Amino acid sequence: MRDAIKRRLSFSWRRTSNGGETHSSPPAAPRAKRYLRHALIGAGTLAGAVAVAAVSGYIAVDRLGAPDLAQVNQLSTTVLDRNGHLLRAFTTQSGRWRLPVEASDVDQRYLAMLMAFEDKRFYEHGGIDMRSLARAAVQLVENRRIVSGASTLTMQVARLIEGRYERSGGAKLRQIVGALQLEHHLNKRQILSLYLRLAPFGGNIEGVRAASLAYFGKEPRRLSIGEAALLVALPQSPEWRRPDRNPRAARVARDRVLQRATEEGVITEAEARRAALEPVPIGRRAFPKLAPHLAEAEVMAQPKETVHLLTIDRGVQRALEALAEEQTKLLGRKLSAAILAVDHTTGEVIAHVGSAGYLDDARAGAIDMVNAMRSPGSTLKPFIYGLAFEAGLAHPETLIEDRPVRYGSYAPKNFDEDFHGTVTIRDALAQSLNIPAVKVLSAVGPGKLAGRFRKIGVEPAFPDKTVPTLAMALGGVGLTLHDVTTLYAGLARGGDVVPLVHRRADVADAAKALLHGKQAERKRLLSPLAAWYVSDILKDAPPPVNAKAGRFAYKTGTSYGYRDAWAVGYDGKYTVAVWVGRPDGASTPGLSGRVAAAPILFDAFARLGDKRTPLSGPPSGALRVTGSELPPPLKRFREGGIADVAQGPFLEPRVLISFPPDRAEVETETGDQLLLKASGGVLPLTWLVNGAPITSDPRARQVVWQPDGNGFVRLSVVDAKGRVDRVTVRLKGSEGVVTMAGEEQKR
C-alpha cells in the first residue's frame, strides 16, 4: 500500500540554473486529472485526502500569486560597526527580536543538523515531501495514532508566515498550499533564510541569530555542537523548551537532536557525548548595547533605514565604555564621563562614549555628554598661542611676563594663585598659566579666535549671545566635546581641519569625491608652522602620576567652579578627548583635568594599542633656536601687537607693508625674486613669511625674498616696538596650481 501511494503521488521536479530547486511548469489538464484520479484511489485514508489537497493546491498555486511577505520582512533595526559587527539592535514595532540573517551567517554544523532533524530532503522536494507524507499517513492508519510527522521546512515557513499555530487537518492543508506557493516563487536559499529569520525560540525571540545572542551571547557564525543542537530543538516547542524557564525540557530536546544527528552521520558518537555534557543556558542575555547614544541618534535621524553602518570600532568602543565606567566609580557617585576617539587622518569616529553608564540614572547616563555644551576650561590656550605664532607675534621661546594685570574690571589669576615672573611662551603653555594666555589673547583678539573657529565649522556659544571676550582664554565660552575634538584633530593634522564623520556612507562618499577630483575645500585652523610649534610644546607636557611622557601631545583643562575636567591628546593617527563632570553642571570641589581626566586619557590611548604613531616633523621655516638667538622683536612679547597703535603728531607712524598690497595677485615665474617693501615703524624690522622669519637687512625697509612656489602666502613685518602689519597675497604662476599653506590643490 505504501509503495503504491508513493508511486501515485510522485511529482516531477527540475533544477534551476541558480542552483535552487523549483517545480516544473504546471501540468496540463489531462495530466492533472490523472493525478487526481490516482489520489482518489487512496481517498479512504488520510493520505489520500492530503494528496487530493496537494494536487489541487499545485494546480491552483499560480492563481494565488506570490506570498505576502510584508509582515515577515519587518526586521529589527540594527546598528553595525565598521567591520559589520553588531553594536545595537532594536525590537520590531510588534516588540519582537527578529534580526536579519542569511545561511552564510550561521554555523554550517547547525544547518546540517537542522536538515537531518527537520527535513533531510529539503533540496530535493518541491515543498511537500511525498515520501514522508505517505509514510506518515500509512503509519497513522496502521497504528491509529501519529507516529511521525511530514512537515517540511517549507511548510513550517508557510505556517510562520500565516501566523496561526493551530493543529488541525485544515491548518495542514493550508500549509501544503502555502509551501507550494513559496516553492513556486522563491528559491531554496530564500526559503531557508525565511526559516532562519522567523523560527520561534521562546518569548519574543524569533530567528536563529536573535536566539544565539539571547541564549549564548554571541553571533551564530561559530557554535558548539551542543549549542547548534539546542537551536535546532527549540522551535518545535519554543515555550515549553525555553532554557530560561524549563532547562530540563531543553536538555532532553537537545539530546534528541544529537542522537538523530549521530544516526544521520552528521556528527560522530564521540562528538555527541561531549556535546551532551555542555551546560544548557538557564537565562537570557541582554542584547548588545554599544555606543547607545550614537546608535539612538542615528535611528532617530534615519527612521526608515533598518541597517545603520557606522565607523565605530566595536572593540575600541567596548574598551572605552568599560574605562569610563571603571574610572568614574572611583571619582564620585554622581560624576559621569564622555570619551570621543577619532582617526584624524580620515576624520572617522572610532569610539563615542556618551556617558559612564547609559542605564545609570544616578549619573544621568542617558544624556549624551559628547554633544552637551560645556565650558572648555584651558583647552583653548593652544589655539591662542597658535594664532600668535601664525601672526609673527611670538615664538615658543619668546619671553612673556606672568605678573598681575588688569583689563578694566577683569583681573585674571593663575590656577595656583601665584605669579611666576618672566617665563617663555613654551613654559606658559606647558604649565597652563592663565595670565600669559590672557595677554596673548588680548593681542590676538578674542573676536579673531572665535572667527577662526567659525570658519572651520565650530560655533562657540557665548552667554546671552554676547561678543567674544578675554574670558575665552580661561573657558568663558560654550563648546561640546565634539567641537573640542574637531579642533585638536585639526591641530594634529598640521592645522588642516577634517570633518568628523561616524557614518560609513559619508566616508565612502568622501573617497568617491576624492577619486573624481571633487575634494571638499580645505578648512585651515592654523598654519602648518604654528600648528607644529604648538604640538612641539604639548608633546612635552608633564604626564599624570605613573604615566610615561612624550608618547603623544596633550592638554588638560578645568572650568570655572570645578564643573568640568578635560584632557585632549593626539599622536600621528588618533585624537582622543575626555570630559569628566556632573551632567547637571553642579560643582565638584577638587575636580581638575590633570587629576580626573588625564589618567583616563592616558589609559584610553593604551587601550588603542601599545604602538603610537609619531607626530609629524617640523615644516620648512621652523625656527628652532634659544631665546637669545631670536630676532629682537620676538625675544619679548609685547601686548597690543595686532591692535592698531594710536597715532599722533609726535608719535612714530605705524609700520605698514607698502608692497605687495593686501589680497594682491602677483605673477611670478620659477626662480623669480619678490621685493617686499615697508614704511613707517621703528628699525630694525623683522620680516616673516607664513610665520617664519626670513633673512633681511635690519637697517633697511625692504627685502628681496625668494618664493619656493606658487599660491597664497602671509607676509608680516614687525618693527622694534613689536608693532605688526600683515598682508595675504597670491603668487600666480603658469602651471595653474594654488598652494595653500604649503599644500597643493587644483584650482
Q: Which residue has the cell 537532536?
A: 257
Beta bridge partners of 566: 557, 579
**Alpha-carbon distance 637 to 440, whole Å?**
8
Residues carrying an active site annotation: 118, 378
Q: Which residue has the cell 516531477?
A: 12
**Alpha-carbon distance 350 to 356, whole Å?**
17
Of residues 700, 727, 719, 698, the one with CA closest to residue 645: 719
**Alpha-carbon distance 435 to 297, whole Å?**
41
- Vertex 72, ends 111 and 133: CA angle to 5°? 55
Of residues 344, 338, 330, 395, the one with CA closest to residue 366: 338
**Alpha-carbon distance 235 to 229, whole Å?**
11
Angle, helix 314-331 to helix 598-607, in steps of 10 degrees: 150
Of residues 401, 407, 404, 403, the one with CA closest to residue 427: 401
Asked if residues 385 and 429 have their Cβ atoms less than 8 Å apart, the reply is: yes
Of residues 319, 397, 409, 322, the one with CA closest to residue 357: 322
> In 3-state terms, the chain is what percent helix, strand and coil (to 5)?
40, 15, 45
Cis status, amide bond into 684, omega within 30 of 0: yes
Q: Which long-range contacts (CB under 8 A, 24 or more apart) does 657-660 make?
A: 657/715, 657/717, 657/725, 657/726, 657/727, 660/715, 660/727, 660/729
